[in-house]
């Protein structure tokens, strides 16, 4: 097969993937009618973390709730860790499970509800090596960030589904 045929095949594949609903990881589309989102959280650090995640995903941010088309209220966020396995000989932990839970809701500035209060939970496990404590801490921080990103993607998917359902009913 010639180089041109392979290149043409790859180009066609690239152009047809979005048509079947496939998107690269991290690419998220917000529904029509929402051009900017404002984040509201119980404390500044949580608000800042969510604004950063939305910014990384390319979601436009509004400085105030009045300027936004949607207000994401992050009501509670928790990270939990539990022991999954222990070395039979030494009794030391060899694996942990991390659980991330976020409670949220989404509304318009006029207080009409886009998403009723809901909860998203993400769970990951990782191997713990007592000889590399700094590496374990870094891995745990990375997993926390990934779980928050996954939760945000899930929230945006739910928002898209709610917007599509509202569009069908109108």
**DSSP of 4-15:** HHHHHHHHHHHH
pLDDT at 13 over 70: no
- Of the pLDDT bands very low, low, confident and very high (cuts 50, 70, 90), residue 5 is low
Q: Which residue has the higher pLDDT, 96 or 3?
A: 96
Phi-psi region of 157 (alpha: psi -120 to 50; beta: other; left: phi over 0): alpha
Neighbours of 103 (CB within 10 A): 15
pLDDT in the model for residue 2: 66
pLDDT band at 26 (very low <50, low <70, confident <90, very high): very low
pLDDT tens for each residue of 111-162: 889 899 999 999 999 888 777 766 778 888 899 889 988 998 898 888 888 8
Mean pLDDT of the chain, nearest integer = 82
**CATH code, residues 29-169:** 3.30.160.150
Q: Is the pLDDT of residue 3 over 70?
A: no
Q: pTM value?
A: 0.72
């Amino acid at each position: 097969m010639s180089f041109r045929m392979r290149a043409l095949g790859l180009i066609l594949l690239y152009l047809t993937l979005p048509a079947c609903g496939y998107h690269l990881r991290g690419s998220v589309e917000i529904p029509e009618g929402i051009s900017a989102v404002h984040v509201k959280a119980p404390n500044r650090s949580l608000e800042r973390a969510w604004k950063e995640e939305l910014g990384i995903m390319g979601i436009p941010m509004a400085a105030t709730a009045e300027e936004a088309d949607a207000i994401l209220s992050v009501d509670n966020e928790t990270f939990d860790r539990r022991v999954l396995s222990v070395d039979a000989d030494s009794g030391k932990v060899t694996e942990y499970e991390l659980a991330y839970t976020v409670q949220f809701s989404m509304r318009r500035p006029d207080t009409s509800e886009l998403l009723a209060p809901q909860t998203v939970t993400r769970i990951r496990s990782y191997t713990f090596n007592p000889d590399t404590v700094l590496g374990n801490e870094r891995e745990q921080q990375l997993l926390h960030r990934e779980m928050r990103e996954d939760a945000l993607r899930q929230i945006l998917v739910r928002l898209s589904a709610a917007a599509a359902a509202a569009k069908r009913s109108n």
